Amino acid sequence: MTCSHVERAVARTTGEAISTIKRLGFSLVETTAISCDAPPKCPNVVDWDALDQRRVGLFPNRKRVELAA
C-alpha cells in the first residue's frame, strides 16, 4: 500500500480532507505476532538506583548523606 493509498483510506474513513491527512502524517506500521506467554527479552527500563551505585563520583570514599524527606 502506497502513502497515497493510506492517505485516501484515512481521509475516506475520517471524513477529513486529504490535505489534512497529509499534514498529520499517517503511515503504515508493520506488526508481528507477539506471544503473551513469554516476557520481553530486554525490557526498556532503567534501574536508577543500580546505575547510581555504579557511578564514580569526585570523592568515591565519602559516604552518602541521606536527606530526611
* Confidence (pTM): 0.41
Q: Which domain holds residue 10?
A: 1-29
Category of 25 on φ-ψ map: left (φ > 0), alpha (ψ -120 to 50) or beta: left
> CB neighbours of 58 closer than 8 A, spacing ≥ 6?
none
Mean per-residue pLDDT over the chain, rounded? 76
In a domain, 7, yes or no: yes
The string of pLDDT tens digits covering residues 23-37 is 888 777 766 655 566
Ramachandran angles phi, psi of 36, nearest 5°:
-80, -10
Q: Answer whether residue 9 shows pLDDT above 70.
A: yes
Q: Is residue 65 part of a domain?
A: no
Residue 62 lies in a domain: no
Residue 60 resides in a domain: no
Number of domains in the chain: 1
